Amino acid sequence: MLEGGFILLHRSILRWEWYGDLNTARLFIHLLLTVNYEPQRWQGIAVERGQRVASMAKLADETGLTVKQVRTALEHLKRTGEVTHTATSKYGLFTVCLLYTSPSPRD
């Protein structure tokens, strides 16, 4: 898992519709912290910036949530367009949408 670097998290997240849902907020912030910051290859597939490969069980282990809680939180994030998920028989590809937008200097 990534341990160096940082992310910028704007205070407007306090007004985000899922901020009060602890499991959904936890999963989203965890994904923000763990997605690729540059393109990489994993077992022959391209994993782009803003994406990561993981299973539901792996995300549950990393976040301290149950697999069911991860699935529910992921459904929330998918429904509102923050995250997409492509599943195969071997792995899941998670993409954080609208990532890497530059904040305006006034924000």
List the chain pLDDT tens, one digit each, 107 residues. Answer: 667 788 899 999 999 999 999 999 999 999 999 999 999 999 999 999 999 999 999 999 999 999 999 999 999 999 999 999 999 888 899 999 976 555 544 55
Structure tokens at 49: 């910036």
Residue 101 confidence (pLDDT): 52
Q: What is the amino acid identity at position 10?
A: H
Strand runs labelled E in the chain: 40-42, 45-47, 51-54, 83-87, 92-96
Q: What is the amino acid identity at position 85?
A: H
Residue 90 confidence (pLDDT): 84
Residue 6 confidence (pLDDT): 87
- Angstrom distance (rounded) from CA 32 to CA 89: 24
